[in-house]
Amino acid sequence: MRRNGLPPPFVLHTFASSFAHALWYTLFPIYLRSLGLPLAEVGLASSLPLTLSFVLALPAGIVADALPARRALILATGGQATIVALLPSLKSPAATASLLFSYTFLSTLRGQSSLRVVASRANRSDMGTWYSLYLLASGASAAVGSYLSGVVTEREGFTPLYRLSAIAFALSALPLTRLEQIQGSRARERIKLERLKSAGFFELTLSLSIHDFAVFSVMPYTTLFQREILGLSTYEIGTLAALGTVVSQVFQPVAGLVTDRLGSKPALVLHYVGVSAGYVLMAISRSYGTLALAVVLQNVFLPLDLPARRKLLSYMAPPSSVATANGLSDAVVGLVAAPSPLLGSFSWSSLGARWAFGLGAALNLLALAPLAKLRERSART
């Protein structure tokens, strides 16, 4: 029997670090656009911390399983603080890309190490609920960060925004000094691929790959759509981002309960359908109000994703390799999804911005086919 409950120092760290990330990242596409980058480069660069996090998830997962969790979290957070402080001063695209690569690895290491902390405190019957509560702690502070990103940028510009984010990252490491240590695993306890194959790992990863490819093909262009097609201000864009985060976090505990009570597979089906419906409504929106409705609709179903996929993957592997199993799946998904912003850029340029979002919604529903073949009982959830 594991001890239930998230450690208070871990919750405090999650609040502060999520706030710090949302503060600078929410308006990152607009920051890149202000530097004069073309649409395709904005899409690729702004989606890098998203798609690359999946590609780097396997090495990050291996490191997270090998290191004591507290040490990994402190290392990752300190590195992120340094990188965010340096980003506005860089002029070279190569240097910027290099720092984004390093930031993404550290962010992924922090995420995989956090997963180890949650898994160590959860039982099989309630992991979805506890992971949802972890996401609630993360998302609640991210909502504040998203909102303040617009406020700070309107008044002070981007450079003070990045400095404030770096300070928040540094402060988020302080509670970790009180976190109980969770030791790393030994090499002989590491994951066995045969076990993953028999548990439905292939079907789940294929479904998630299609889903993330479709979503990431248009996600980097959401703020640009709001700015260039509907003419919203950065304040309004930040407010919409905060609204979406608030809605998703209100429904986050419900998502955990749905995952634990109905099953992870039905939760993923609801997530796929809800996300596509949100993109369709976004594509046909003509006003701030309709766009806000699309954001609300999409974010009602958005929280179902991570508790379901993490629970499925975590119980496909032995406890000592939870981060590695999740990292392996995320790496495959990330490799597939990495070039997807090019599809969004092409469809935006050739078909129009609204059709680009409609195409993303349609592609996303194709992920239901491999998911239908997954036997959830084989994953022991």
pLDDT digits (tens, 9 = 90+) for 49-88: 776 777 788 899 889 888 888 999 999 999 999 999 998 8
Could you say which DSSP state residue 168 is in?
Answer: H
Residue 19 has pLDDT above 50, yes or no: yes
Counting residues of the chain whose pLDDT is more than 90, the rounded percentage is: 34
Residue 109 has pLDDT above 60, yes or no: yes
pLDDT digits (tens, 9 = 90+) for 83-101: 999 988 877 777 877 888 8
Q: What residues does each domain of the chain span?
A: 8-182+193-379
pLDDT digits (tens, 9 = 90+) for 241-266: 888 878 887 898 899 899 888 888 99
Per DSSP, the three-state class of 276 is helix
Instruction: Give the integer Cα–Cα distance in Å for 16 and 137.
Output: 10
Indicate the average pLDDT of the chain: 84
> Cβ distance 119 to 127 under 8 Å?
yes
Per-residue pLDDT, 202:
86
Per-residue pLDDT, 22:
92
Local confidence band at 166 (pLDDT 50, 70, 90 cut-offs): very high
Residues 6+ apart with CB under 8 A from 363: 210, 213, 214, 217
Per-residue pLDDT, 274:
95
Per-residue pLDDT, 381:
43
Work out the average pLDDT over 346-370: 93
Per-residue pLDDT, 13:
95
Paired tokens of 62 = 């291996």
Per-residue pLDDT, 295:
92
Paired tokens of 266 = 């039905």
Per-residue pLDDT, 94:
76
CATH superfamily placement of domain 8-182+193-379 = MFS general substrate transporter like domains (1.20.1250.20)
End-to-end Cα spacing for the chain: 17
E strand spans, the chain: none
Residue 364 has pLDDT above 80, yes or no: yes
pLDDT digits (tens, 9 = 90+) for 186-220: 544 455 555 555 557 888 999 999 999 999 898 88
Three-point CA angle 310, 313, 316, nearest 5° = 145
Work out the average pLDDT over 303-322: 82
